[in-house]
Structure 1
Amino acid sequence: MSTFQFSGLNLAIATPFDESGRIDFSRLERNIESYLAAGVSGFVLSSGTGMHVYLTKEESNELIRVGAKAIDGRAKIIAQTSALLTEDVIDRTKHAADCGADGVMVLPPFFEGPTDDQGIVNFYADVATAGLPIIGYNVPQVVGVAITPSLLRELCEIPEFIAVKDSSGDLGKQASLIRTGLPVMNGADQLVPYSLYAGSSGLIWGGANFAPRTCQALVSAASERCWDEARKIWSILEPIMSLLWEGDYVQSVYAAAELTGYGAGGPRKPLRSLAADRVEILRGLLGELISMEAKAS
């Protein structure tokens, strides 16, 4: 992972909201400091876990501006600039560059967008004119477009297209992307150690919001090829990370972060906070993570 610009743990940071559903920028700044103290080396601002699709363009732009200013060069910054209109993606990407982002994460065209490879290549070539490194976002179960090994090879012929984040949740398909020899970032929480062992170049990890120190310890063990230690750490993380992938992902991350002391309030409507019984299930699966993260902070 050492030679890739965004190697290691890139936290898909949850966007904090106040009781009125507005972005709580003060809390964002405090949380960033906590995550930096926990050893997080990269952040994804306006991520899927950060509720990108439920932020206005203006809110997302301000989130990226405030977040980048708070990080202030102490970690790598990836900004999600996905949008329906290509022109909006380019504008958002230029704004992210002005704010000091190191790269952007961009979904392929979605909601009845082009599904042919050339149409997708043309889209990312247009985004590349904004001048920042691009990480494609492969989540076919949501978008309806899959970045295949052959398409990845084509996309990486665009100088600014540097990697794909794979959130398909299918380790076999992710491994086929990794075998191209091109940078692949894992975005599926339940696959983290297996993806690292298979040779992924880095992680974009939403579940790390509630256990940043433990997640960072796992990444460090894997980078040193200490697989027995990585497996030991993963045995603590695995129950909760597997549950996240079964549904109510964003709501569960917000709830779990509250339990471990990295709270961001509740998710924004139309998502609802988890019901009390679900929160108790999370509490049980978090187990010793609650005390581990508290003792370390």
Structure 2
Amino acid sequence: MTEFLFSGLNLAIATPFDTEGRIDYARLEQNLERYLALGVPGFVLSSGTGMHVYLSREESDELVRRGSRIINGRAKVIAQTSALLSSDVVARTKHAADCGADGVMVLPPFFEGPTDDQGIIDFYTEVAAAGLPVIGYNVPHAVGVTVTPSLLQDLCAIPNFCAVKDSSGDLGRQASLIRTGLPVMNGADNLVPFALFSGARGLIWGGANIAPRTCLALVAAAEARDWNTARDIWTILEPIMSLLWEGDYVQSVYAAAALTGYGAGDPRKPLRGLPAERIKTLRTTLGQLIELEG
């Protein structure tokens, strides 16, 4: 296990696209600079919210290269390097290291990959040997692999493995991981304050694209153990974070971020922009966040 470096808010930044569906690097720089100016302490490049699975290897590598160069040490950089082939994950991870990333986030082997504990341990051992701190990813409904407390203990025995991101959406199961005393990061937008109260060491938060000021304020209150203030802030954030978690997550983040002034274009095909009625619902649900984030 290596030192955990990613406390607080790590923004899973939406990858901007132009009207032709190409990555819009000018907008990427603009958005990163705005988030940095607010004090966002960490970013995940090529995240799930950033449509990692719909980027080519070359696009993901270039996104990590450019994003790391723009950030230039002003915040932590986590690159998602997940891929079907272990050799590709290792190559992507070495590229991220060359770009100056501080760590990588990696899904367990997916699409008919191994589901037994030893297969998962062997996979992360190979990836961790590439030289960067590795954040594992617990998202059983999407991958078919569940990181249990005992598996987390085995994974954290691997040199360079540093944490698991839990996106199960099940607070009870996340709490069981936290009880191991090992670093756990919350990845479920609708559980943020509860996860922090339970002892999550950090957040990887896609919904923070929409409301970075308010999300940072919530994290600051939680870090100060000012739970009354955290609860008041969560009252503002909870409606949109819960709505995101109900479905059409990526499309909804892109649409809602545009409404609060942090637009990244439309998501790339095969995902489609949301219909007008859904956008109307998003606008209503955002409520005062549109003004607060302006």
Q: How far apart are the structure 2 equivalents of 1:210 and 1:240?
A: 9
Deviation of 1:201 after TM superposition, in Å, equals 0.3
What do you get for the CA RMSD once the two structures are aligned? Answer: 0.6
The residue number in structure 2 matching 1:143 is 143
Structure 1 residue matching 2:65: 3-state secondary structure: helix
Do 2:49 and 2:206's aligned partners in 1 also have CA atoms closer than 8 Å?
yes
The residue number in structure 1 matching 2:198 is 198
The residue number in structure 2 matching 1:156 is 156
1:247 pairs with 2:252? no
Matches within 5 A, 1:204-283: 204-283=204-283
Letter in 2 for 1:262: Y
Question: What whole-Å deviation, never above 9, does each CA across 1:45-104 have from its counterpart, x for those lacking one?
Answer: 000000000000000000000000000000000000000000000000000000000000
1:22 pairs with 2:48? no
The residue number in structure 2 matching 1:48 is 48
The residue number in structure 2 matching 1:120 is 120
Do 2:4 and 2:163's aligned partners in 1 also have CA atoms closer than 8 Å?
no
Q: How far apart are the structure 1 equivalents of 2:79 and 2:225?
A: 30
Structure 2 residue matching 1:268: 3-state secondary structure: coil
Structure 2 residue matching 1:165: 3-state secondary structure: strand
The residue number in structure 1 matching 2:81 is 81
Question: What whole-Å deviation, never above 9, does each CA across 1:261-295 have from its counterpart, x for those lacking one?
Answer: 0000000000000100000000001010000000x
Question: What whole-Å deviation, never above 9, does each CA across 1:5-47 have from its counterpart, x for those lacking one?
Answer: 1000000000000000000001000000000112100000000
The residue number in structure 1 matching 2:70 is 70
The residue number in structure 1 matching 2:292 is 292
Q: How many percent of aligned residue pairs carry the same amino acid?
A: 75
Question: What whole-Å deviation, never above 9, does each CA across 1:215-252 have from its counterpart, x for those lacking one?
Answer: 00000000000000000000000000001000000000
The residue number in structure 2 matching 1:103 is 103
Letter in 1 for 2:20: S
Structure 2 residue matching 1:244: 3-state secondary structure: helix
1:61 pairs with 2:61? yes
Letter in 2 for 1:138: N
Letter in 2 for 1:146: T
Q: How far apart are the structure 2 equivalents of 1:98 and 1:212?
A: 29
Q: How far apart are the structure 2 equivalents of 1:120 and 1:236?
A: 39
Letter in 1 for 2:233: I
Structure 2 residue matching 1:79: 3-state secondary structure: strand
Deviation of 1:4 after TM superposition, in Å, equals 4.0
- Runs of 4+, deviation exceeding 2 Å: none
TM-score, with length taken from structure 1: 0.98
Q: How far apart are the structure 2 equivalents of 1:162 and 1:111?
A: 24
Q: How far apart are the structure 1 equivalents of 2:117 and 2:179?
A: 20
1:175 pairs with 2:175? yes
Q: How far apart are the structure 2 equivalents of 1:236 and 1:151?
A: 36
Q: How far apart are the structure 1 equivalents of 2:168 and 2:63?
A: 27
Q: How many residues align?
A: 292
Letter in 1 for 2:178: I
TM-score, with length taken from structure 2: 0.99
Deviation of 1:125 after TM superposition, in Å, equals 0.5
Q: How far apart are the structure 2 equivalents of 1:218 and 1:226?
A: 9
Letter in 2 for 1:261: G
Q: How far apart are the structure 2 equivalents of 1:172 and 1:131?
A: 33
Q: How far apart are the structure 1 equivalents of 2:166 and 2:160?
A: 18
